[in-house]
Copies of this chain bind each other. A is one copy, B any other.
Amino acid sequence: MGLFSKDIKTFEDLYKHGLQDIYYAENQIVKSLPTMIDNASDPELKRGLQQHLRETQEQVKRLEQVFKLHDETPSGTKCPAIDGIIDEGSDLIGEVEDKAVLNVGLIAAAQAVEHYEITRYGALIAWAGAGPRQGCGHPCPQSQRRAGGGQEAYRAGGAAGQSQARNRERHPSPPAQSRGVAPRGRKPPQAGAEEAEEEVGPPFLSREP
């Protein structure tokens, strides 16, 4: 059993509740990532999600270290926020048929997950007083840095992926190597003047019909 908000009376309780919240969240992320991996059709995105899964498994272990440090049994408390974030990604997987569009949606879903990890670890680090002393042995700053790194990688991949998904819509049969999502961190190809004009937005955003 986790600590519910009604049990929070002291700052210590709040910290423990936060720890149980992110422990639940990380375990839910571990459960959900394999489905995202299975549905990512771009090999590089798939590898990125697999790396995210490995890192999240490490983060679960780090949280268990924190529980153990204090003779507490690791436990989670239901977290509607991560449930909602994961549900949104799952909805996309179930409904979006176009593989390239789904890849771009999966990147956004993974970024939302990373941001949730960043904000919850940020609170825990602030509450534990570990922020300015990352060498003190508290494992949360390491988890937050990992989440931040993943977020940056997804962001770079997303910029390339959305460019390629748009290209695919304009040219229904592109060369095989331009399909799907670009490798994480790779910049989109340089565009010419006409291409640059179209980069302002997808058709929905364009002022011209």
Q: What is the interface of chain A, defined by CB distance below 8 A to chain B?
A: 4-6, 8-16, 18-19, 21, 66, 69-70, 72, 79-85, 87-88, 91-92, 94-98, 100-101, 104-105, 107-108, 111-112, 114-116, 118-120, 122-123, 126-131, 133, 136, 138, 151, 155, 158-159, 162-163, 165-166, 168-169, 199-207
- Give Cα A176–Cα B18 distance, bound, in whole angstroms: 27
* B-side contacts of A84, CB under 8 Å: 79-85
- Given the known inter-chain contacts A112-B81, A119-B112, please indicate yes or no for A69 contacting B9, CB distance below 8 A: no
A80 vs B101: C-alpha distance in the bound complex, in angstroms?
21
Chain B residues closer than 8 Å to A8, beta-carbon distance: 92, 95-96, 101, 105
Across the A-B interface, give the 4 residue pairs with the lowest CB-CB distance, nearest first.
Answer: A84-B84, A80-B84, A129-B199, A81-B84
CB distance from A13 to the nearest CB of B (A): 8
Residues of chain B within 8 A (CB-CB) of A15 are 201-202, 204-205
A115 and B111 alpha carbons, distance in the complex (Å): 10
- With contacts A104-B127, A119-B112 taken as known, whether A201 is within 8 angstroms of B138 at the C-beta atoms is yes
Bound form: Cα–Cα A101–B104 in Å: 40
Which residues from chain B contact A19 at a C-beta distance below 8 Å? 204
CA distance A5 to B88 in the complex (A): 9
Contacting pair B82 A129 (CB below 8 A): no
A81 and B115 CA atoms in complex are apart in Å by: 12
Q: Beyond A8-B105, A81-B84, list 9 extra A-B contacts (CB 8 Å).
A: A10-B169, A11-B166, A12-B204, A14-B165, A70-B207, A79-B84, A114-B119, A126-B155, A129-B199
Q: Is the CB of B200 within 8 A of A12?
A: no
Interface centre among A70, A127, A151, A158 (most CB of B within 10 A): A127
A25 → chain B closest CB, angstroms: 10
Question: Which B-chain residue is minimally distant from A155 (CB atoms)?
Answer: B122
